[in-house]
Chains A and B, each alone.
Chain A
Amino acid sequence: MKKYLLYLIALIFTAGIWSCIDEIALNVDTEQRTLVIDGFVTDSLGDFRLKLSQSSIIGIGNDNILDPVPGATIQLLTNDGEAHPYEESTELPGTYELFSFKALRGKEYFIDIVLPDGKHYQSTPEKLRSTSSIDEISYDVNEETYRNNAGELITENIISAKIATSFSSEDPPFLRWRVTGQYQVQENYPMALNPLRCYVDVNLDINDIRIFDASKVNGDRLLEQTIAETVYDFRFGEQFCFHISQFSISEAEYNYWANIQEIIDIDGSLFDPPPGTVIGNIRNVDNPEDVAVGYFSVASVFFKRYFVNRDETGFSVRSKCEGFFLRVPFACDDCLLLNNSTLEKPPYWEF
């Protein structure tokens, strides 16, 4: 009886402290919209996209669908008068492309945008910073228990990709990482005559901001910095490739991402800072009060791939189409049904 009483007390108490998070209606009656700029250039030769849109209105359907802004005139300008015009995509409204471009050290770059209604925006000029290389990539796998949105306790193996990098302690860089993944799937179904192998791209860092201010490091090396985490599952059943981009960004851009991280991390805790609107680096040339959101980035980049092979982690895992019984798993008889999959073997693939 005493035991049950204790459990009851504990239940009441903990239910009070940890379960009181629920959705409520909060009437935010506004139709405020703001110009959004989303684009960057780097010192790596390639094609670069810039998206122009209006921010979404809260509470009306899918807030993720932004209204594109077509018909703008966009140029990448330099401090010495160079102009690199963007071409508007015919397939993707509001998307503008700069082909075969590479930013050069020593120049200052800024974006210049004239909207169809004549409003004129420019970003703050930025210089390329020195590239910081990745010295080493490693990973580890750990069993982690957490509570999902439904309040259930979940235990999963999580793989963390880590890097080591060195830099000049006299000019410590501001770093940002973007990581994508790719895995292979071997078709497998009864009576398979010619099972195919697909290569599937996966997003690993949606809403996951990985930045670092190297001036906070004691020394000139950053060791075992986690840059991506994902569930260690069937995708690692054959071979998995991490594509890692390490950007050296400006201090202003670092602050921009730090502020974004702060507001998307707000979870109503006792110690939350009050939210604010993140100011990017783009303003209306004729009206300083008219501030667009987003950040036009000029960064140097160091790119590296890293493969993780089956079972070398010490944690066993099956591939997607391995060892099924009776029912063929989805896409195991046609791996092209998987999103972002291709039969074309990437030239860098190891096996």
Chain B
Amino acid sequence: MHFIMNKNNRLKSIVRCGCYFLFLLLAFSPTSLMGQEIETFQLGEKTTVIKPITWTGTIYSSEKNEPIINAVLQSDGGINAITDLDGRFKINLPKRTHIFTITALGFEDKKVSIDAYTSAKLDLILNVEAVLIDEVIVSGASDRSALKEVTPGLQRLNAEQLETQSKFFGEIDILRSLQSISGVSNTGEGASGFNVRGGNTDQNLILQDGHLIFNPSHALGFFSLFHPDLVQYVDLYKGGIPAKYGGRLSSVLAVETRDGDKERFKMKGGIGMVSSRLSLEGPIIKDKVSFIVGSRYSYADWIFNLVDNPEVAESSAFFNDVTAKINARLSPTTNLGGSFLRSRDDFQLGDEARFDYSTVSGEAYLKQLIGDKMNLTLSVNKGRYESSLFDLKGNDQSKFTNAIDYTRGKLDFLYVVSDNYKLNVGADLNLYEISPGKIAPRNESFIIPDELEKENGREIAGYIENQFTIKENLEISAGLRFTSFANIGAKTVNIYPDGEIKTDRNIINQQTYGDGETIASFTGFEPRLSLRYELNERASAKLGYARTYQFLAQVSNTASATPIDIWQLANQHVAPQYSDNYSVGFFKDFGVKKYQSSVEVFYRKSVGILDYKDFAQLLLNRQIETELVTGEGLSYGVELNLKKQTGSFRWDMNYTFSSSERQILPTNEQVGVNRGEWYSSNYDIPHVFNASLVKQFNNKTNLAINFTYRSGRPTTAPVSSYSSDNVLNVPIYSDRNKFRVPDFHRLDLAYTIGPFGKKDGKVDHSITLSVYNLYGRKNAYSVYFRQNSFESVKAIRVATLGTIFPSITYNFDLK
């Protein structure tokens, strides 16, 4: 009997498609079930002869029929194995029944009972987390893994979950999807980046494989640069950040792309109203070397050109990106590969101004298995983010450019010491070269060409993380990261008198540092701790603590991040930022895996947070330190999650109450903000509610409804006004961020027909009809104040998207 029993509906559907797993059906069969969770398999034929027994096999993904690398098999008898680059493993077993737990990143844990008789081959399948076939509900980590996962605040999404999110012009988007998770928000439609638990956008470490991403947004945040068809899974660490990650205060977003299929060519894509996407994958050398490449291209200009308005007709919004990956299996234990990412945006506002920004990054990596318990990963990345602002009109036409170049090396070593102990050690090296600004005249402009000195930084970190299973229901992950950062020459540094406010008029000296010479250096220990205590099969409690350092900050004095924001390294004037993150969570399932709930409380205190003086001039400023002020930040809140993930009607809802505040004290060396009193940060959104409902009508159609509500973000409003010479209405503003813009809420629908295609299952098509902002809510991106002569001040709401957006997207999948 050659089949694998799996109760998962999704897998059943895949098997019905007739395209997966035929070769898995070898000499083994499940004979019985041990309760709800444990499947039982017989290894070999029953015999009374006692011989050494070897279990060989491969762990596959239920979703893509791909082998899973680094899956860990742990037995109740202390026998462990880790899968190689082909997902294979080999274990010697004594003749008896063994209970094995199989775990892998991005997959549900699996517990199996193996009745070992003779040596044989037995393959197993792990389910992709929280994924049911045609599932349209959107959630964070799967419910079971939320209970089992030791790290509090970890949210995982996979590609299929992403497909079910709100669609703006029919496009799937990772960043928009993340914003439906509790604790994640942004400052409004059209704002770049995202904010985690009240943190800044620059406080998120964003990685695609090993590529450092400095601006993940396309088209001012309506799309992101992650190609959805290439994404294997997305991890967002909101609270307990593992020691292997560092360099940002509030979160880590790690996007992993998948390898290309090593056996056959496949093509996938979608055609939408403003952009289309395509991905290709297949073998270069069958079973040895594969590639995958995906690209997206926008073409919104045709819509602009239809409009009888010169300002609109001269506007444009364009983006494209290419992501490519090659993977070579040199031996069963050695895997070599490389990847490339290029993303470009071009956004023009009428005939006045234009923004260009681009990301280019390359990676080479080596994955080496040492024995069956150790895994070594070495990666090297090099990339650049560059942005330009063009002034297109008048006699001061110019092009302003700034950029950041990085080189990154990472060595990671994972050792499964025993059933109850996993060790992860490694080191990071990041080299940064900041080009803070260059301006060049255009046409007949009077602008003087100018370029600021480059700034260089070297960040070195080493880490160790120990994951212990102390008792069956108590798991601890304890790590320590040590980071050393140096701001290095060549550079000329301004010297200011001690105890005085820095201004461009009180520079008393300048000091020049040679190439590679250390200008300022900082070190810090970052302890990390995660603890999970399983109260029973359906409830667990978690604790998390992480200290994080950040040596690279985005300097921006606009309400939300913009593509041209400058990156600033810690130096002798700008201290590094650090924060202490605490989180506590309680997770409970109700019914028979029907309802899942969780409550998480978080608290973060940050030191060295940057803010700005009023009217700070940041572009091309050789004394940028004179515009900055520093202080403390405090974020805290509670996140409630409740979801139902089974049946044809599923839902997921979450509510977050939080606070994000700052305090900038006036001192001898800086002016304060709001007289040194605590004030709301730009990302202080006290109430957030998200709800997703999905109705599966049959195998071919489903309807998804998403609703989101957020408190209005803080703003500064005029409280009085006066006249000054020929200017009649000069507003006097309130304390910073004293008021709020109106609340944000929006309802979206998506109706998907498909997949439908040929009976051989090699071609699938689907059509998604979606309506974004169903009731045309004019959500305020911002509020400004206008006062015409002899009138009272009026509050004017600006809504970036203020109407209903229907769209249609055609998707295809050639397997």
Contacts and interface: CB of A to CB of B under 8 A. Distances in A.
A144 B802 CA distance: 28
Contacts of A276: 613-615, 716, 733, 736
Contact of A61 (B718, B724, B732, B792): B792
A193 to B, nearest CB: 39
A56 B614 contact: no
B725 interface: yes
Given A15-B803, A26-B739, A274 B724 contact: no
Nearest to B792: A63
B742 A20 contact: no
Contacts of A79: none
Interface in B668-726: 682, 716-726
Given A205-B726, A270-B220, A62 B800 contact: no
A260 interface: yes
Interface stretch (A33-41, A107-115, A329-337): A33-41
Given A22-B778, A274-B736, A259 B312 contact: no
Residue from A22, A62, A270, A272 whose CB has the most chain B CB atoms within 10 Å: A270
Given A64-B728, A274-B716, A266 B723 contact: no
Nearest to A18: B312
A62 B739 CA distance: 23
A23 B557 CA distance: 25
Contacts of A23: 794-797
B799 A20 contact: yes
Contacts of A6: 306
Contacts of A99: none
B524 interface: no
Interface in B720-759: 720-734, 736, 739, 741-742
Contact of B722 (A20, A55, A145, A218): A55
Contacts of B558: 270-274
Contacts, number: 235
Contact of A21 (B308, B560, B797): B797
A224 B395 CA distance: 8
A328 interface: no
A7 B448 CA distance: 44
Contacts of B717: 26, 28
Contacts of B728: 64, 206-207
Nearest to B394: A226
Interface stretch (B47-55, B60-68, B780-788): B780-788
Given A23-B797, A147-B309, A277-B614, A60 B722 contact: no
Contact of A66 (B614, B723, B796): B723
Contacts of A209: 726-727
Contacts of A205: 726
Interface in A151-183: 153, 178
B562 A58 contact: no
Interface string A230-271: 000000000000000000000000010011101110111111
A273 B615 CA distance: 8
B792 A58 contact: yes
B736 A64 contact: no
B781 A55 contact: no
B439 to A, nearest CB: 10
Interface string A1-45: 000001101101111111111111110101011101010100000
Contacts of B513: none
A28 B719 contact: yes
A178 B800 contact: no
B554 to A, nearest CB: 14
B805 interface: yes
A278 interface: yes
29 contacts: A12-B803, A14-B307, A15-B802, A15-B803, A16-B805, A18-B311, A20-B798, A24-B780, A24-B796, A26-B741, A28-B717, A30-B719, A36-B724, A56-B721, A63-B729, A63-B792, A145-B310, A205-B726, A218-B447, A223-B446, A262-B615, A264-B727, A264-B729, A270-B558, A273-B558, A274-B612, A274-B614, A276-B614, A276-B716
Question: Which of B557, B782, B803: most chain A Cβ within 10 A?
Answer: B803
Given A16-B801, A26-B717, A206-B727, 12 more contacts: A12-B803, A14-B304, A32-B719, A36-B723, A59-B792, A64-B787, A64-B791, A178-B725, A207-B727, A223-B446, A255-B615, A276-B716
B797 A22 contact: yes
Interface residues of B, number: 77
B792 A62 contact: yes
B793 interface: yes
Contacts of B720: 30, 32-34, 55-58
Interface residues of A, number: 80
Contact of A260 (B724, B783, B784): B724
A217 B723 contact: no
A123 B736 CA distance: 26
Given A32-B719, A56-B720, A207-B727, A24 B783 contact: yes
Interface string A216-227: 111000111100
A26 B786 CA distance: 13
A318 B616 CA distance: 48
A14 B722 contact: no
A34 B730 CA distance: 12
A96 interface: no
Interface string A70-95: 00000000000000000000000000
Contacts of B30: none
A263 B730 contact: yes
Nearest to B806: A12
A20 B719 contact: no
A294 B731 contact: no
B804 interface: yes
- Identify the interface centre among A263, A267, A273, A275: most chain B CB within 10 Å of its CB: A275
A15 B303 CA distance: 12
B187 to A, nearest CB: 10
B804 A12 contact: yes
Interface in B285-321: 303-304, 306-312
A275 B304 CA distance: 31
A153 B312 CA distance: 12
A64 B448 contact: no
A301 interface: no
B36 interface: no
List of 7 A-B pairs having minimum Cβ-Cβ separation, nearest first: A276-B614, A20-B802, A268-B798, A20-B799, A26-B795, A268-B784, A10-B306
Given A10-B303, A17-B801, A58-B721, A178 B726 contact: yes
Contacts of A25: 795
Nearest to A38: B724
B23 interface: no
Interface in B107-137: none
B726 A208 contact: yes
Interface string B358-387: 000000000000000000000000000000
A268 B615 contact: no
Interface in B589-609: none
A11 to B, nearest CB: 8
A293 interface: yes
Contacts of A121: none
Contacts of B784: 266-268, 272
A18 B313 CA distance: 12
Given A7-B306, A268-B781, A278-B730, A58 B719 contact: yes
Contacts of A272: 558-559, 782, 784
Nearest to A60: B792
A53 interface: yes
A21 B798 contact: yes
Given A21-B798, A63-B791, A293 B732 contact: yes
Contact of A207 (B312, B729, B736, B803): B729
Contacts of A40: 725
A277 B733 contact: yes
Contacts of B193: none
B273 interface: yes
Of B731, B739, B791, the most chain A CB neighbours within 10 A belong to B731
